[in-house]
Chain A
Amino acid sequence: MEAIVAGLVILLLIFFFLGVGTWVFAGLLLVSITGLMLLLDMSTHRVGVIAVKIIWRYASTWELAAIPMFVWMGEIIFRTDISDRLFRGLAPLVDMIPGRLLHTNVLGCTMFAAVSGSSAATTATVGKITTTELARRNYDTNLAIGSLAGAGSLGLLIPPSIVMIIYGILAEVSVARLFAAGVFPGLLVAGLYSAYIIARCMANPELSPKSSETMTFGQRLKGAVNLLPVIVLMFLVLGSIYSGLATPSEAAAVGATAAIILTLLMRQMTWAIFVESLMGAVKVSCMVCIILIAAAFLSTAMGYLHVPANIAKAIGTLNLSPIGLILILSVFYIVLGLFLDGISIVVMSLPITLPLILQAGFDPVWFGVYLVIMVELGQVTPPIGFNLFVLQGLTGHPIGRVAIAALPFFVLMCIAVGIVTLLPEIALWLPDFLFNKPT
């Protein structure tokens, strides 16, 4: 009973501190500190000593360095014409498939996701070009915006991925395995999106108007050369991880350096872009890292209060089947996703849900993939969904309109979660194949 009360008090504190609008990191720290003082009667001194110990330990975790570096790489690409080339390269290739240029959203995001760790960056970088190009050619607005909202969130699932690094650090799971586990589920989601676009456009060809230009095979091939920068970056980042040359955190440094060299060679890099991208990376990674550090303290506080263990025990007495547990968690995460951003969802829920999942016999790597898809769902649900915000900014349509356009893709993502839950091998086959099964 006491545990339930403690859990409820913590939950109330979270709603209170985050609800009034304190910065997320400050809110999490305030919850933890007041929780420990109120519920365990700890002295301010003792809490302070514990807090500083935990904060320092997590702040100086070197795996965190992957975050500023991947963000920096994304910032560089965002500020140069690599995304423009991505569109020019893909457009001739997809022109033959029903749905035509709508597929540049899906394929562009899938490819860009492989060099970027964040979904907002993916949506913004790909959308910067495709939203105007598709609108200019009179493509169906709902499909154009919706597919971008859905596909943009692939940035989280397809490696590298900042959310996966965060999950890996907090859950103590190998980030390289997580990255490998995200590949096929990511391709599955992309495949579902493309299939949906094809189906819709075959039923109603007016959704994707025919272009007047006809191209020869040679011209198409020439266009595809524009894909080279992204492919090179993809190859270097993922290649350095899976060849064993670099750990995922080190691969981030390789990626950032490669992006700088590549943009220098393309004569795109200027001093201004260099400084802007660097300062952008500093800002974003400061935001992510400080939340992560605060969340680590929240986990510790919850551990002191025995909240996760007791909730796990309470749910254990319900005798849920593993599938029942996943269903309940899915509802829980979709509700959280309505109001919270991805990082907050992962860091706040993990201390409670991870023990539950492990107890039920799920693989922590699989759960990482599941969690990332749940976070992706949260990206496209109003009132708080970052992909929706990005698209609102890009297209000027109100957020409600964007959310409705994204709805079919939300449903497709739910289907993908179902498939990955029933067939966990989709996620687990590649990491097992690459790194052998852990014993």
Chain B
Amino acid sequence: MKLFQDIVFRLSKLAAYLSAAILIFMVCHILVEIVLRSFFDSSTFVLDEFVGYGVAAMTFLALGYSLEEGALIRVNILLIRTKGAVRRGLELVCVFSTLVLSSYVFYYFWRNWKRDWDRGAVSESIAEIPMWIPEGLVVLGIILFIIQLFAYFVRVATGGDMITSGGGEE
């Protein structure tokens, strides 16, 4: 049980590291673009496309990790006023509905991915990126999020620790 939780979190963390790598890549790409534009009157021509894929991939890949770290915000008016079994039950309802939602979204993302993979669809820019690559990263992120949610569901149901939300940023 503990092992299962550990493995799942390690996977989520690995995906978050990938997100971090994408963030560094985006920063570098933008710097190159600025230098090319300002000093060489040129461009990589694919900045908005690549960085767009980057944001999508890094957001979805980091979902599981952010969930477990309590970074995803929620309105806790009710949560902070409930205790014990009621609180635990409420948490299970929240996790379960998010689980259903994620699986639903996953199914349709998967369909798109499969279609683009089968047809070998590429982006409309000069880079002609095969669409299955960025879409695949998003699908992977959703899969890991679902696994992390499932692990969390099991943990809450069996009396384990609940995530304490840090409240977020804004």
Residue ranges of A at the interface with B (Cβ–Cβ < 8 Å): 17-27, 29-30, 33, 44, 48-49, 51-52, 55-56, 59-62, 64-65, 68-69, 71-72, 118-121, 156, 162-163, 240, 245-246, 249-250, 253-254, 256-257, 275, 278-279, 281-291, 293, 339-344, 375, 379, 383-384, 386, 389
- Bound-state CA distance A141–B120 (Å) is 65
Taking a contact as CB atoms under 8 Å apart, the answer to whether A65 and B55 are in contact is yes
- The distance from the CB of B149 to the nearest CB of chain A, in whole angstroms, is 10
Q: Please tell me if the beta carbons of A60 and B77 are within 8 angstroms of each other in the complex.
A: no
Q: Report B26-68 residues with CB < 8 Å from chain A CB.
A: 26-27, 30-31, 33-34, 38, 47-49, 51-56, 58-60, 62-63, 65-67
Does A293 contact B101, Cβ atoms closer than 8 Å?
no
Report chain A residues within 8 Å CB of B38.
245
Contacts of A55 in B (CB 8 A): 105, 109
Q: A72 vs B25: C-alpha distance in the bound complex, in angstroms?
A: 13
What separation, in Å, do the CA atoms of A120 and B167 have in the docked complex? 10
Do B105 and A51 have beta carbons less than 8 Å apart?
Answer: yes
Interface centre among B33, B53, B72, B93 (most CB of A within 10 A): B72
Question: Which residues of the other chain, B, contact A72 by a CB distance below 8 angstroms?
Answer: 23
Interface string of B61-105 (1 = CB under 8 A from A): 011011101011111111100000000001101100110011011
Would A286 and B19 count as touching, CB distance under 8 A? yes
Chain B residues with CB below 8 A from A340, complex form? 75
Chain A nearest CB from B117 CB (Å) reads 15
Question: Max chain A CB contacts within 10 Å: which of B16, B30, B78, B102?
Answer: B30
Q: A253-B31, A386-B167 are in contact. Are A60 and B134 (CB under 8 A)?
A: yes
Contact check, B26 vs A69: say whether CB atoms are below 8 A apart.
yes
Task: Tell me whether B77 and A52 are in contact (CB under 8 A).
Answer: no
| Distance to closest chain B CB from A249 (angstroms) | 8
Judging by beta carbons under 8 Å apart, are B94 and A20 in contact? yes
Contact, CB under 8 Å: A26 / B170: no
In the complex, A379→B167 CA distance in Å?
Answer: 12
Q: Which of B55, B94, B111 contacts A59 (CB 8 A)?
A: B55
Tell me the bound Cα distance from A51 to B168 in angstroms: 25
Closest CB in chain A relative to B123 CB, distance in Å: 10
A264 to chain B, nearest CB (A): 15
| Beyond known contacts A23-B94, A59-B56, A283-B62: 4 more, CB 8 A cutoff | A22-B97, A29-B101, A56-B112, A384-B77
Interface of A is mostly: helix
Q: How far is the CB of B60 from chain A (nearest CB, A)?
A: 7
Inter-chain contact B23/A68, CB cutoff 8 Å: yes
A-B contact pairs, 9 of them (CB 8 A): A24-B75, A59-B60, A60-B55, A65-B30, A68-B58, A250-B30, A282-B20, A288-B169, A386-B168
A286 lies within 8 A of B63 (CB): yes
Q: Contact between A121 and B169 (Cβ–Cβ < 8 Å)?
A: yes
Of A61, A282, A389, most buried by chain B (CB within 10 Å of CB) is A282
| Chain B residues near A21 (CB-CB < 8 A) | 74-79, 90-91, 94
Q: A20-B93, A23-B67, A29-B105 are in contact. Are A287 and B56 (CB under 8 A)?
A: no
- Those of B99-153 within 8 Å (CB) of chain A: 101-102, 104-105, 107-109, 111-112, 134-135, 138
A250→B34 CA distance, assembly (Å): 8
| Alpha-carbon gap, A20 to B98, bound state (A) | 12
In the complex, what residue of chain A is closest to B26 when comparing beta carbons?
A: A65
B169 A33 Cβ-Cβ under 8 A = no
In the assembled complex, the Cα of A282 lies from the Cα of B91 at a distance in Å of 25
Q: A51-B108, A68-B23, A286-B66 are in contact. Are A257 and B170 (CB under 8 A)?
A: no
Residues on B facing A (Cβ under 8 Å): 16-17, 19-20, 23-24, 26-27, 30-31, 33-34, 38, 47-49, 51-56, 58-60, 62-63, 65-67, 69, 71-79, 90-91, 93-94, 97-98, 101-102, 104-105, 107-109, 111-112, 134-135, 138, 167-170
- On chain A, the residues within 8 Å of B20 by CB distance are 275, 278-279, 281-282
| A155 to B, closest residue via Cβ | B170
Q: Are B59 and A290 within 8 A (Cβ)?
A: yes
Whose C-beta in chain A lies nearest to the C-beta of B18?
A282
- Docked Cα-Cα span, A169 to B3, in Å, equals 43
Given contacts A51-B105, A283-B71, A287-B169, contact A26 B16 (CB under 8 A): no
Contacts of B48 in A (CB 8 A): 62
Contact in complex: A283, B69 (CB < 8 Å): yes
Contacts of A287 in B (CB 8 A): 66, 71-73, 168-169
Q: Are A62 and B55 in contact (CB under 8 A)?
A: yes
Asked if residues A290 and B23 are in contact (CB atoms below 8 Å), the reply is no
Q: How far is the CB of B73 from chain A (nearest CB, A)?
A: 5
Q: How far is the CB of A59 from chain B (nearest CB, A)?
A: 4
Question: What is the CA–CA distance of A226 and B74 in the complex, to the nearest angstrom?
Answer: 39
Partner of A19, one of B34, B62, B75: B75
CB pair B170 A163 closer than 8 Å: yes
Known contacts A59-B56, A72-B23, A282-B65: A25-B72 contact under CB 8 Å: yes
Residues of B within 8 A of A384 (CB): 75, 77
Complex: how many Å from CA A109 to CA B14? 35
Among A26, A279, A282, A343, the residue within 8 A (CB) of B98 is A26
User: Which of B27, B77, B98, B170 has the largest number of chain A CB atoms within 10 A?
Assistant: B170
Per the bound structure, the CA–CA distance linking A384 and B73 in Å amounts to: 12
Residues in A neighbouring B59, C-beta threshold 8 A: 59, 64, 285-286, 289-290, 293
Given contacts A20-B90, A284-B169, contact A257 B105 (CB under 8 A): no
B55 touches A68 (CB 8 A): yes
